[in-house]
Structure 1
Amino acid sequence: MRCGTVLLAGLHNSGLPISYLQLLGGANYGTYNQGVFNTGNYDIGFFNSCNDLVGIGLTGDHKIGIGPFYINE
C-alpha cells in the first residue's frame, strides 16, 4: 500500500486470507475482534492512509468503533 492511499475501512480487511477472518459485525483481525472496521494493524473508525490515520483512528492493536471484545496484550 502506497503512502497517501486512503482505504475505506470496512471494504478492506487486514490482507490476511479470508480463512483467517471471521465475520463479527464487520471484520476480525487475528484475535482482535472489531465490530465495524479493521485495516492492517490499524483498527480505525473511518480511514487509514499508510501509517497516517485520517478521521478517527488508533494505532497498533487498539480498538475503535464497536468492538465487542479483544485480547489485551
Structure 2
Amino acid sequence: MLPPKTHPKWKELVCGKLKVSFTLLATKFFITRVTGRAKIDPTTENIERLIEEAYGFFKKNEKLAQKDIQAIFGQESK
C-alpha cells in the first residue's frame, strides 16, 4: 500500500534527495525524468505536480514495483 501523497518521502524522491537503488528499469527512467524536471523548475506547484505523477506511476505499477516502493518507504508501504 502506498503512503499518502503528503508523506515527506514523496518530495525527497521527486527532488532527487532520496537515493534509492531501483530494481525496475522503468522506475529508474521515470525517476530520472521526474528529478530532472524538479531541478529545472523547483517551484512548489511543479513539485506537487511531480509528486502527483510519481504517485500515479507507483499506483499503476504497484505490484511490479513492490521492491522499489519498499526501498523508498520501507515498512510503511506494507
Kindly indicate whether structure 1 or structure 2 has the higher relative contact order, using CA contacts under 8 Å at least 6 residues apart: 2
If the length of structure 1 is used for normalisation, what is the TM-score? 0.28
If the length of structure 2 is used for normalisation, what is the TM-score? 0.28
Larger strand share, 1 or 2: 1
Larger helix share, 1 or 2: 2
